[in-house]
Structure 1
Amino acid sequence: MQKTVIKNRFMPPASWSSELLSTSPLFTDLCQSFAIAPLTTWPDIGWFNHCATHTLVQFVDNEELTADGRYYEEYIYATKRVPTRKDNWHDFFGALIWCLFPKTKALLNRLHMHEISQHGQKQRSKLRNKLTLFDECGVVICLEPAAIKHATLLRTHQWQQSFVDSRADWWQSIRPVIFGHAIYEMATAPFIGLTAKALFVEVPAGFCQWSLTDAYSFLDKNMSQQIANGGLLPDNDQLTPLPLLGVPGWWHQNCQPAFYLNMEYFRPLRAQKSRQQLGSLDD
């Protein structure tokens, strides 16, 4: 008899836990940016809107979208209201990303609507797929001039060279920032195999020492401009795989070099793709 293999769907924790967030370095930026620690239960819509002082949107209960009947992106575009489900990790993180990146999130929404106007809701264009991939799974790799080499190392899966040999560069001249709210959701129950999509952005020298407010404000403005100009997301060298738990400081086990020897997680670049990558670097 053939064995049936059932792939388990990821399930986040069923209950609210501010301790879960405050004790994991993956959520440090969120805990420092928002009053999460005092929460003893799921935040309500009022809490989200209190956080949204610099956004152009308002958070509303998801029941408004259900009653309205419009498509999610269309509803946000037309009303500047973001439907948010109660007691839901995915929407909790989605709301906080709206607060941290208001310009970029609003731009992604406008681009979705432009693509829908051109191709309809059911036919997803390449750009819409890229927008969704970044929105759900993106991690921005901020590179100061001294750390530019890491873009090539990570794109070509030279994990050892970036994460181990040049480990001292991380958080000194290279800073990762989570953008994808699905990545945040999965980080509530991290597992070996958790993989994000890396978007490489050049930042000024000293960026890694900036305050969170200044750093996120710069990124929001910078990314929204680059995406609007059409030169960021369509680039095939962007949104490359990033084994999230390999980022120094984000996972306790990666302080041991042996952690990076798991080639099922830290996969080498396929030979054909490696030749293509190296060829593009020579152009």
Structure 2
Amino acid sequence: MRFVAPSREVFDRAVLRHPPLAAWNAVGDWIAAARFPSVAELNRDWDAGWRFVEQTPQLLADGLHYETRIHARAEIATRADNWHDFFNALVWRRFTPLKAALNRRQVAEIALMGDKQRSRAQCALTHFDEGGVIVVLRDRELLARWDAHDWRALFWEAREAWCDGTIRAEVFGHALLEMALVPGKLITGKAIAVVAGPDDGDAMTTVARAIDNGSILTDPQELRALPISGIPGWNPANDSAAFYAEAECFRPLRAGRIYPEPLRVA
């Protein structure tokens, strides 16, 4: 069933105080406001070489693929009064190198496939663009628990690791941010794992570089499922061990599923 976000008039602003939306406090006023910002407002103080343009019938009359328009004209088509496109704009502003890398890869695949067919790589790129999470961790044992879908061990038994920064998640996908508007909604992301040392400052650059050079996101099966609702403090129900045994988002590992090696911070 297609997700329908609550309207600006009725959505519970309390969700802004909890992850993942709490990580967007710098633009919290835009999220909490009674109206959506215009494309002119979205473009303000963002001088990265791209610009948001309102998606209108006149714009679409150029016949360009959405990704091709971004690449050829540096124009990001954005629907007015639309949560999905609004969060996409916020991600573009905050994680510009990652979004640009995804766009370059998409355009390269379109050149190979045409704009009527989609490759496995395009599916992977889209899944990450929409539902992506970047997980930075310093303990390979946590990765082993995650890859086994041992959710109780990963989230409940290792709660301290999520609190002290041994493992942390950065939500990248704009569709996940849109879903987070619903209090208590069970949400699962598509994650890229990055193993880091004491300083994880280059983790985002590492992911962007790997996307650009084609070493990741060649197939959707590369992406690790991550029920972000299990991260301590991200869902009010997860303060009980029973949550990890009962909630629908915690699914067992499918037979034969093997995840790739994680990235390493360069």
Taking structure 1 as the reference length, what is the TM-score of the superposition?
Answer: 0.82
Q: Does 1:265 align with 2:258?
A: no
Return the alpha-carbon distance in structure 2 between the equivalents of residues 203 and 139 of structure 1. 16
2:236 maps to 1:252: yes
CA distance in 2, matches of 1:150, 1:52: 37
User: What are the Cα deviations for residues 176-233 of structure 1, in whole angstroms up to 9, with x where unaligned?
Assistant: 00011111111112565422111101233154xxxxxxx5xx3432211122232232
The question of whether the paired residues in 2 share the 8 Å contact of 1:192 and 1:265 is answered with no
- Deviation larger for 170-179 or 34-43: 34-43
Residue 74 (structure 1) aligned with residue 58 (structure 2): no
The 8 Å contact of residues 18 and 36 in structure 1, kept in 2 or not, is answered as no
Q: What does 1:78-89 correspond to in 2, within 5 Å?
A: 78-89=72-83
Distance change in 2, residues 1:99/1:33 (3 Å) = same
- Measured at CA, do residues 123 and 194 of structure 1 come closer, stay the same or move farther in structure 2, by a change above 3 Å? same
Structure 2 residues without counterparts, runs of 5 or longer:
262-266
Cα shift at 1:81? 1.2
1:168 aligns with 2:168: no
Number of residue pairs matched?
A: 259
Q: Distance in 1 between matches of 2:221 and 2:195?
A: 14
SS at match of 2:242: helix
Tell me if structure 2 keeps the 8 A contact 1:102–1:220.
Answer: no
> Comparing 61-70 with 120-129, which one deviates more in the overlay?
61-70
- Alignment partner for residue 197 of structure 2, among 204, 208, 214? 204
Most deviating of 251-260 and 188-197: 188-197
The amino acid that maps onto 1:154 is W
1:184 is matched with 177
Task: Return the letter of the residue paired with 2:206.
Answer: N
CA separation in 1, counterparts of 2:31 and 2:107? 36
Deviation at 1:269, TM superposition (A): 1.5
Question: In structure 2, which of residues 88, 93, 97 is the aligned counterpart of residue 99 of structure 1?
Answer: 93
Are the aligned partners of 1:60 and 1:84 in contact in 2 as well (CA < 8 Å)?
Answer: yes
What is the Cα-based RMSD across aligned positions, in Å? 2.6
Q: What is the CA deviation profile of residues 218-254 of structure 1, one whole-angstrom value per residue up to 9, with x for unaligned ones?
A: 3432211122232232378741211121111211111
Amino acid at match of 1:155: D
- In the alignment, which residue of structure 2 is the partner of 1:15? 8
From the CA coordinates, give the structure whose radius of gyration is larger: 1
Equivalent in 94, 99, 120 of residue 126 of structure 1 = 120
| 8 Å CA contact 1:142, 1:201 repeated in 2 | yes
Report 1 or 2 for greater relative contact order, CA contacts < 8 Å, sequence distance ≥ 6: 2
Judge conservation of contact 2:229–2:235 (CA < 8 Å) in 1.
Answer: yes
Shift of 1:28: 1.1
CA contact (8 A) 1:51 1:99 kept: no
Higher deviation after alignment, 243-252 or 156-165: 243-252
Cα distance change of structure 1 residues 234 and 29 upon mapping to structure 2, 3 Å threshold: same
Deviations 1:42-86 (A, max 9, x none): 111122112524x22111111253243311111111111111111
1:29 aligns with 2:23: yes
Q: Percent identity?
A: 35
Please give the per-residue CA displacement for 1:18-47, whole angstroms capped at 9, x wherever unaligned. Answer: 825523322011123565367332111122
One-letter code aligned to 2:212: A
SS at match of 2:169: strand
Counterparts of 1:211-226 in structure 2 under 5 Å? Answer: 215=201, 218-226=202-210
Tell me, in whole angstroms, the C-alpha distance in 1 between the residues paired with 2:42 and 2:5: 20
